[in-house]
Amino acid sequence: AQSVTQLGSHVSVSEGALVLLRCNYSSSVPPYLFWYVQYPNQGLQLLLKYTSAATLVKGINGFEAEFKKSETSFHLTKPSAHMSDAAEYFCAAGPRGTDKLIFGTGTRLQVFP
Amino acid sequence: DSGVTQTPKHLITATGQRVTLRCSPRSGDLSVYWYQQSLDQGLQFLIQYYNGEERAKGNILERFSAQQFPDLHSELNLSSLELGDSALYFCASSVRTSGNIQYFGAGTRLSVL
């Protein structure tokens, strides 16, 4: 069965530092890939989506993710963290031919001043 | 605001009871998805409806059922509630199906006492 692995349940960075959140998927056929962010007591908000048009995907709030088929990865990055980036981030895969999303376990990002 | 409306925001009930969670999708979206978010299971896909018909089932218990009405709103019915059913239940909607961005509501937090 397809799965999504997010390495690191907690990541802490200083304000202004690089943010790197890791996501790997398990599938021989690359699925649709998504990153969502969840702020406290809120629903999930889409950051970006990979559809196979381009390997480097730019999203909202300065985030981007690079799809690497050879590594089955879709890591999320942001060059400079802001305090407002503190939230939980979920990587999700949408297997081709199905409609559901398979979520990773999430990574909680803390940003220190 | 994602455009997906979920009611109620909070629900507190007792074991053995039955509750109904309601979801209004974004205008124009035909597909509705239900997810459960709990501390031990993470975000799990429960069920999907497309234009009134059940399209996909995930890890949904037999005590749970859902339907999508002609006006496209959806209800998730949870019966014979157990303590372990306490979770955040999300509804999401999308225009069509596979690969489409799913927009999430703010969720209904269910507490079973």
E strand intervals along A28-112: 32-38, 44-50, 56-58, 64-68, 73-78, 87-94, 102-103, 107-112
Instruction: Answer whether B99 sits within 8 Å of A32, measured CB to CB.
Output: yes
Written as six digits, the tokens of B67 are: 């339907």
Antiparallel, parallel or unpaired: β A102-103 and A87-94: antiparallel
- pLDDT value, residue A48: 94
For residue B33, list chain A residues with Cβ-Cβ distance below 8 A: 99-101
Report the chain B residue with the minimal C-alpha distance to residue A94: B99
What is the mean predicted confidence (pLDDT) over B61-89? 96
**Cα separation of A38 and A45, whole Å?**
6
**pLDDT, tens digit, for every residue of A53-62?**
788 999 999 9
Residue B99 is given by DSSP the state T
Residues β-bridged to residue A82: none
Average of per-residue pLDDT values in chain B = 93
Provide the residue count of chain B.
Answer: 113
E strand intervals along A32-72: 32-38, 44-50, 56-58, 64-68
Q: Would you call B85 helix, strand, or coil by DSSP?
A: helix
User: For chains A and B, what is the number of CB pairs under 8 angstroms?
Assistant: 58
What is the mean predicted confidence (pLDDT) over B82-110? 90
- pLDDT value, residue B40: 86
- For the four alpha carbons of B29, B101, A40 and A80, in that order, the dihedral sign comes to negative
What is the mean predicted confidence (pLDDT) over B11-39? 95
Backbone torsions φ then ψ of A70, nearest 5 degrees = -65, -25
**Cα separation of A64 and B22, whole Å?**
34
**Cα separation of A95 and A32, whole Å?**
6
For residue B90, list chain A residues with Cβ-Cβ distance below 8 A: 43-44
Token pair 């605001």 is at which residue?
B1
Percent of chain B with pLDDT over 70: 97
**pLDDT, tens digit, for every residue of A73-89?**
999 999 999 999 999 99
Q: Would you call A30 helix, strand, or coil by DSSP?
A: coil
Instruction: Answer whether B45 sits within 8 Å of A44, measured CB to CB.
Output: no
Instruction: Answer whether B99 sits within 8 Å of A90, measured CB to CB.
Output: no
Higher pLDDT, A35 or B100: A35
- Residue B97's pLDDT band, with cuts at 50, 70 and 90, is low
Which region among A21-25, A51-55, B14-18, B52-56 has the lowest average model confidence (pLDDT)?
A51-55
**Cα separation of B43 and B40, whole Å?**
9
**pLDDT, tens digit, for every residue of A87-101?**
999 999 988 777 788
- pLDDT value, residue B43: 92
Does position B90 have pLDDT exceeding 90, yes or no?
A: yes
Does position B32 have pLDDT exceeding 80, yes or no?
A: yes
**Cα separation of B29 and B103, whole Å?**
10
- pLDDT value, residue A19: 97
- pLDDT value, residue A94: 86
Residue A9 touches chain B, beta carbons under 8 Å? no
Residues in CB range of A28: below 8 A, 6 or more apart? none
**pLDDT, tens digit, for every residue of A1-54?**
788 999 999 999 999 999 999 999 997 777 889 999 999 888 899 999 998 778
- pLDDT value, residue B98: 63
Percent of chain B with pLDDT over 90: 86
Q: Would you call B92 helix, strand, or coil by DSSP?
A: strand
Q: Nearest Cβ partner of A103 from B43, B48, B107?
A: B43
